[in-house]
C-alpha cells in the first residue's frame, strides 16, 4: 500500500510511512485541538512535492485562517482554498432553509447560484470544479458543519456514504475534520477509512496535547497515544514518548 507523507514526521512514523494513499480520514477533536492546523500542514506537505491541495472551509474565512497559520510560514495561495459561504452572494432575505436542505424535487429546482447552499451536491460540485490533474490531497473543514444541514440520521448517513464514495473516486487522500470530544463515536468514524483523535488535557494547570489513531483500515499503526505540540513550525508528534497522564516535569 502506497503511503502519503502527512506533513508531521512523528505522525508518519505512527502510520509506518504516512496516510494510506486515496483514503478518507476523520480528524476528530475538540475546539483548539489542532484540527485545522493539521489539515493545512497536510496540504502544505503536498505542495513540497508539487501536488495541489484543496481546502474546503465550511466556516472560517481564508483571511482568518491565513492569520492563524502565519507563524508557521504557510501561504494559503499555494493551495486551492474554497469557502462556499464567503463567496456566494446572498439572495434576499438570506438562504432558503428548504433549498439548503434540498427537500423535494420542485424545491431543488428553485435553487440558483445565488443561494447559500451547503449540502452534498454543492460541496461535490465545488470540489469537482477545483480538481486539477495535480490535485492529490483534499481537506474538508468541517464535516460537522456539513452534517448540520442534514436533519435526520438517515439523511446524514446517506450523505456521509456518498461523500466518502465521492472523495475516494477523486483518487485523492482526504482529511475531514469532526468537532467531537465525546466518547460515543460519530457516524463518520464508522464510515471513514481512518480516525485520528486530537486530544487536549489540562493537568496541574498546564495544557497538554496528544494524538491517537483510533482506526486505519488496511494497515498496521501505532496504537498508543503520543504527545503532540504546536510549535512555530506547526504540529509535532513525539513518537518516542508515550503520552502518560500526570504532570510533566
111 versus 176: smaller Cβ distance to ligand ATP: 176
Binding of residue 37 to ligand ATP (CB under 6 A): yes
Binding of residue 226 to ligand ATP (CB under 6 A): no
| Closest distance of CB 83 from ligand ATP, Å | 14
15 versus 42: smaller Cβ distance to ligand ATP: 42
- From residue 13 to residue 52, the character string flagging contacts with Mg ion as x (rule: CB under 5 A) and all else as - is ----------------------xx----------------
Report how far Cα 195 is from the mean position of its chain's Cα atoms.
11
Binding residues for ligand ATP restricted to 56-75, rule: CB under 6 A = 68, 71
Binding of residue 36 to ligand ATP (CB under 6 A): yes
Binding site for ligand ATP (CB under 6 A): 29, 31-37, 68, 71, 179, 230-232
Binding site for Mg ion (CB under 5 A): 35-36
Amino acid at each position: 500500500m502506497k503511503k502519503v507523507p502527512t506533513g508531521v514526521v512523528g505522525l508518519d512514523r505512527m502510520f509506518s510511512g504516512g496516510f494510506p494513499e486515496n483514503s478518507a480520514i476523520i480528524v476528530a477533536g475538540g475546539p483548539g485541538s489542532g484540527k485545522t492546523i493539521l489539515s493545512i500542514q497536510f496540504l502544505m506537505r503536498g505542495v513540497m512535492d508539487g501536488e495541489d491541495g484543496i481546502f474546503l472551509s465550511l466556516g472560517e474565512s481564508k483571511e482568518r485562517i491565513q492569520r492563524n497559520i502565519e507563524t508557521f510560514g504557510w501561504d494559503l495561495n499555494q493551495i486551492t482554498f474554497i469557502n462556499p459561504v464567503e463567496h456566494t452572494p446572498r439572495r434576499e432575505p438570506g438562504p432558503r432553509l428548504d433549498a439548503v436542505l434540498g427537500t423535494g424535487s420542485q424545491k431543488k429546482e428553485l435553487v440558483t447560484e445565488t443561494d447559500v447552499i451547503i449540502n452534498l451536491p454543492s460541496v461535490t460540485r465545488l470540489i469537482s470544479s477545483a480538481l486539477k490533474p495535480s490535485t492529490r490531497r483534499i481537506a474538508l473543514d468541517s464535516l460537522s458543519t456539513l452534517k448540520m444541514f442534514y436533519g435526520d440520521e438517515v439523511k446524514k448517513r446517506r450523505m456521509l456514504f456518498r461523500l466518502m464514495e465521492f472523495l475516494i473516486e477523486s483518487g485523492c487522500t482526504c482529511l475531514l475534520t469532526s468537532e467531537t470530544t465525546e466518547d460515543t463515536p460519530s457516524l463518520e468514524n464508522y464510515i471513514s477509512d481512518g480516525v485520528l483523535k486530537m486530544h487536549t488535557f489540562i493537568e496541574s494547570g498546564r495544557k497538554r496535547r496528544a494524538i491517537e489513531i483510533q482506526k486505519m483500515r488496511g494497515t498496521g499503526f501505532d496504537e498508543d497515544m503520543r504527545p503532540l505540540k504546536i510549535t512555530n513550525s506547526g504540529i509535532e508528534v513525539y513518537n518516542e514518548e508515550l503520552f502518560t497522564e500526570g504532570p510533566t516535569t
